[in-house]
Amino acid sequence: MQTLVGYHRPGSLEEALELVKRGHPRSVLVAGGTSLNISRFSEPVEIVDLQAIGWDQIRAEGPNLEIGAMTRLTDLAAHPSVPELVRELAQREGPNTLRNVATVGGTLATGHPESELLAGLLVFEGRVALARPGGATEMIPLDELLADRTRLQGSIIAAIRIEADGPAAAARTGRTPFDTSIVAAVGRRTAPGIRLAVTGMAATPILVEPEGVPDLDPPGDFRGSPEYRRHLAGTLIRRVMDQLGEES
C-alpha cells in the first residue's frame, strides 16, 4: 500500500514545478481535490495542492477563449463569454457540491470517459497549455493529450484555449435524465464541416467521424453492451447532425 508522506501548497508556478520534477518522493497534483487516486502508486507520494497559484480567469482573445486551469466548473457554467453549450455541459459534470470545487484543469487531467464537458471542449477545438520548467509553455491539442497521458509528465496544466464561435448541439442517453450518460454525442459546425465527439465509447471522450462508429470497440458494463453503445452513438450522432442542419 502506498504512503502519503507530505503535503505542499506552493504559492507560485515555479515552486510547483520544482516539486513536480523531483523523482522522489513522487508528487501528485491536486486542483479542486474532488478526485484523488494515489492507489496506483506503490511508492511514497506527496500532495501538491495548486489552489494558491491562481489561474482562475476566463479571457476572450478575439474569436478564442482562454480558460484558466483553476477555473471552477460552477464559474465556467455561469460565465457569459463561454459558449452556451459548453456552459450546459459544465452544468452536467456532477452535483453542484462537486462543481463548486472541481476545476477545468482537474477535469482535463482526469480525462473521464463519460465527461460531456470534455467532449464539448474537443469539438470547440480545445488546445491545452502545459507549463514546463524554465518558463516554457507547450500547446497541445486536447485530443492528442487525452490519447497520450504521458504528455503531462513533468508539467502542469495552465489553461485551455477554445474557439468560441459556431453553432453546436448535444444529445445524450442515460438511465434517467439526471444520471451520468451512457453515451453522449456533441457536435459543432465549422468551416470544414461538423466536428463530432462522443463519450462512453473509449477510455476518454474522442473525436469521431460518423462512418467510423461501427469500428469502435467501446467497453461494456451493466448499463449496456458494446453493441448497444455503438447503436447509441450512431443514433445520437444523427440527432446532433439533424440539429445542426446536416444531412446524416
CA–CA distance from 136 to each of 131, 146, 154 (Å)? 6, 21, 12
pLDDT digits (tens, 9 = 90+) for 41-57: 667 788 888 988 889 99
Q: What does the alpha-carbon distance between residue 56 and residue 133 come to, in Å, rounded to a whole number?
A: 21
Domain boundaries, the chain: 4-49, 58-163, 168-243
pLDDT digits (tens, 9 = 90+) for 208-236: 999 999 999 999 999 999 999 999 999 99
* CATH numeric code, 168-243: 3.30.390.50
Q: What does the alpha-carbon distance between residue 111 and residue 217 come to, in Å, rounded to a whole number?
A: 18
Model's pTM, two decimal places? 0.91
pLDDT 10s digit of each residue in the chain, 248 long? 457 778 889 888 888 888 888 767 777 788 876 666 555 566 778 888 898 888 999 999 888 999 999 999 999 999 999 999 999 999 998 878 888 888 999 999 989 999 999 999 999 999 999 998 887 889 999 999 999 988 888 889 999 999 999 999 999 999 888 788 999 999 999 988 999 999 999 999 999 999 999 999 999 999 999 999 999 999 999 999 999 987 65
* CATH numeric code, 58-163: 3.30.465.10
